[in-house]
Structure 1
Amino acid sequence: MPLTLIAMKGHPATGKSAVAEALARRLRIPLIDKDDIKDHVLDLPNA
């Protein structure tokens, strides 16, 4: 399968996460949530 990136953008509370989750399930691809990454980065100790 070729490398594909699907990015979602829109106003708050418009269903972006629900659509992204449904797409990921339907296409059987991983879902990477920017907020999950941001939370982990902010939890890292200062270097």
Structure 2
Amino acid sequence: MQMGDAPATWEDATLLHRLTGYRPQTDIHEGIARFVTWFRDYHDR
């Protein structure tokens, strides 16, 4: 871990939805797959 890293997180978008009406639509598995694709393309791997 690097300085400033959070040791654990628990995603909860309830407050975001309550304040803005926004509700994320991307499923966690799809989101991770898309991130990995982006990361590899970005770093040319």
The TM-score by the shorter chain falls in which range? 0.3 to 0.5
TM-score, normalising length: structure 2: 0.33
Q: Which of 1 and 2 has greater Rg?
A: 2
